[in-house]
Amino acid sequence: MPESLSSVSEKTGMPPGALVHVGEVRKQKSKITAIKYNQKGCTQTEISLIKELPKTKNKDDRVIIIVEGLKNIKFIEDIGTKFSIHPLVLEDILNTNQRTKYEEFDNFLFIVLKRLTGNTGKFEIDYEQISILIFNKYILVFKEKTDTFTESISRRLIHNKGRILETDYLAYIFLDTIIDDYFSLQDSFDEFYESIEIELLENPSQQTLASIQKIKHELIFVRRSVSPLRELLSSLQRSSSALIHRKTELYLRDIYDHTIRFTETIDSYRDITNGMLDIYLSSVSNKTNEIVKVLTIFTSIFIPMTFITGIYGMNFEFMPELKIKWMYPVLWGSFLLVPSILLLYFKRKKWI
């Protein structure tokens, strides 16, 4: 059985619950971090085997296991065995094309959502699937890549030092951190739109159109990733599971409001993008009209001159003007006078 597949369609014929990674293969090495948290503080260690998991000896001990990189399928299978995780859940964790969702099981809660981050300097969105499993004293997090996400979580835990945090609140910390990245992405959108607007007004080009099409394409995926999050958070707030405490509902409501605000912003971006396409088409049309206008003016100027030269280019023997001594300078004078009169007329009509 292959360790990784590029699409779900390639799993055709495999049994349900087959543990195969589906999606983009990240080049980073897998990293497994265990964070043990209690009233005294938090300790962070890097592990490689399931037997190295920290024990929850005291009542207020909480353990966070963060798996960064989904190449270590053996560890994921072992952790599924240890915590009695259904094979279909493990299959969803390894399928990075999974839709955002929330499911309740007898001994844990399962959350899948997308983390969206933007690259500074250029408009590119990186999509990463994060799966969160909430147990009584453990919380398991599975990520596609290694980055500074774990460090930011550790800093927030240190900030809450001395408090007994239940796993549902720890899950809220993860959700809040992910949603905070959405607003950083919103800043990238704003900067991108500002630069495109300047291009549209000053010098629209094919590259401008390509940029607008790119952001329109990205907005589709962003909305597809973020919209189901409202349903997820709403289900968390309505959950009757003993793992969700009432005091955490207020925090969940807060990030629910943030999600709605970001979704509404994405909807407004879609309208702005459509407006930019209209502006681009209008700008290109106006530019074409300006070119046609200039060419028409030149044509209008040369038509009378062409008419005169056409008459005197005829080979008739008896053309009295050909015998006049000053006829050649008079002809050149008319060539200069007629265009001048036409230009003055165009200017008075404000055509130029």
Task: Report the pLDDT value the prediction gives residue 179, as an integer from 0 to 100.
Answer: 92
Task: Report the pLDDT value the prediction gives residue 161, as an integer from 0 to 100.
Answer: 60
Task: Report the pLDDT value the prediction gives residue 119, as an integer from 0 to 100.
Answer: 67
At the topology level, CATH places domain 4-282 in: Beta Polymerase; domain 2 (3.30.460)
Phi then psi dihedrals of residue 72, to 5 deg: -80, 75
pLDDT mean over 260-272: 91
Task: Determine which helix (DSSP H) or strand (DSSP E) holds 110, and give its type and residue range.
Answer: strand 109-118
pLDDT band at 162 (very low <50, low <70, confident <90, very high): low
Task: Report the pLDDT value the prediction gives residue 142, as an integer from 0 to 100.
Answer: 94
- C-alpha span between 227 and 243 (Å, rounded): 25
Task: Report the pLDDT value the prediction gives residue 89, as an integer from 0 to 100.
Answer: 92
b/e code 166-198 from CB counts within 10 Å (16+ = b): bbbbbbbbbbebbbebbeebbebbeebbeebee
pLDDT band at 175 (very low <50, low <70, confident <90, very high): very high
Beta bridge partners of 127: 116
Please tell us whether the domain made up of 294-348 is placed in CATH 1.20.58: yes
pLDDT mean over 168-174: 90
pLDDT band at 154 (very low <50, low <70, confident <90, very high): confident
> pTM of the predicted model, to two decimals?
0.78
- C-alpha span between 190 and 180 (Å, rounded): 16
Task: Report the pLDDT value the prediction gives residue 40, as an integer from 0 to 100.
Answer: 77
Beta bridge partners of 134: 109, 139
- C-alpha span between 24 and 78 (Å, rounded): 23
% the chain with pLDDT above 90: 21
- C-alpha span between 342 and 131 (Å, rounded): 74
Task: Report the pLDDT value the prediction gives residue 120, as an integer from 0 to 100.
Answer: 55
Every domain of the chain and the residues it spans: 4-282, 294-348
Q: What is the pLDDT of residues 182-198, one digit of tens each?
A: 988 888 888 888 888 88
Amino acid sitting at position 272: I
pLDDT at 16 over 60: yes
pLDDT mean over 274-303: 85
- C-alpha span between 346 and 352 (Å, rounded): 6
Q: What is the pLDDT of residues 206-259, one digit of tens each?
A: 888 888 888 888 898 899 889 999 999 999 998 888 899 888 888 999 999 999
CA angle 40, 43, 46 (to 5 degrees): 170
Task: Report the pLDDT value the prediction gives residue 133, as an integer from 0 to 100.
Answer: 95
pLDDT at 19 over 80: no
Task: Report the pLDDT value the prediction gives residue 27, as an integer from 0 to 100.
Answer: 66
Q: What is the pLDDT of residues 310-345, one digit of tens each?
A: 887 777 777 777 777 788 888 888 888 888 888 888
Q: Report residue 259 as tokens.
A: 């999600």
Task: Report the pLDDT value the prediction gives residue 197, as an integer from 0 to 100.
Answer: 85
Residue with more model confidence, 40 or 63 = 63
pLDDT at 294 over 80: yes
Complete edge-to-edge strand list for the sheet that includes strand 101-104: 41-47, 31-38, 62-68, 138-143, 125-134, 109-118, 101-104
Q: What is the pLDDT of residues 69-113, one digit of tens each?
A: 888 888 888 999 999 999 899 999 988 888 899 999 989 999 999
- Mean pLDDT of the chain, nearest integer: 84
Task: From 59, 26, 29, select the one nearest 46 (Cα to Cα).
Answer: 29
Task: Report the pLDDT value the prediction gives residue 258, as an integer from 0 to 100.
Answer: 93
Residue with more model confidence, 26 or 133 = 133
C-alpha atoms less than 13 angstroms from C-alpha of 336 in its C-beta half-sphere: 5
- C-alpha span between 304 and 29 (Å, rounded): 78
pLDDT at 261 over 80: yes
* CA dihedral sign of residues 214, 219, 220, 222: positive
